[in-house]
Amino acid sequence: MSETLFTKIINREIPADIIYEDDLALAFNDINPQAPTHFLVIPKKPIATINDIQQADREVVGHLHWVAAQLAEQQGFAEQGYRTVMNCNEYGGQTVFHIHLHVLAGKPMGWPPYQERLKTPV
Ligand code: 5GP
């Protein structure tokens, strides 16, 4: 797998606003926030998409949600609520091919989370 910019963030080759790190995961604020709080929780292991998760990765993938919940508690928005999202491939809107959990908070989230595409006239 070719190296993505998230591996470069893990290796401190490019800067990021890192808010959490442990042996398995890193969290940093999104460069283009879609909510008052928007950070990403990523595994240190580079896994390209949800489709590439192996059985042996179950612990690390579950860990991403645990980290999200810890940070939600620390940052004080756990009770109010928040949205976690992991996009997969083109229709999921994935642009960086190193899985990452989006954590969005600080405003009510809409549902459904997509805007209908323009319909082709018949
Ligand atoms: P995706 O579209 O793959 O689900 O999400 C990729 C996310 O990474 C986007 O929300 C985008 O703003 C964020 N992102 C892309 N490049 C960078 C970067 O260099 N630094 C940070 N902090 N976030 C980035």
What's the 31 CA to ligand 1 centre distance in angstroms? 6
Domain, as residue range, for 98: 5-105
Instruction: Please indicate, yes or no, if residue 90 is contained in any of the structural domains.
Output: yes
Instruction: Please indicate, yes or no, if residue 18 is contained in any of the structural domains.
Output: yes
The closest-lying atom of ligand 1 relative to the alpha carbon of residue 95 is 3
Residue 20 has pLDDT above 70, yes or no: yes
Catalytic residue, from 38, 98, 100, 102: name it. Answer: 100
Instruction: Please indicate, yes or no, if residue 82 is contained in any of the structural domains.
Output: yes
The Cα 92–Cα 81 span in angstroms is 23
Instruction: Please indicate, yes or no, if residue 12 is contained in any of the structural domains.
Output: yes
Could you report the per-residue pLDDT of 45-85, keeping only the tens digit for each? 999 999 999 999 999 999 999 999 999 999 999 999 999 99
Specify the CATH number for the domain of residue 58. 3.30.428.10
Instruction: Please indicate, yes or no, if residue 92 is contained in any of the structural domains.
Output: yes
Instruction: Please indicate, yes or no, if residue 115 is contained in any of the structural domains.
Output: no
The mean pLDDT of the chain is 94
Q: Is 98 a catalytic residue?
A: no
Residue 42 — very low, low, confident or very high, per pLDDT cuts 50/70/90? very high
For the entire predicted model, the pTM comes to: 0.94
Domains: count for the chain: 1
Cα dihedral 76→82→87→92 (10° resolution): -160
The closest-lying atom of ligand 1 relative to the alpha carbon of residue 87 is 4
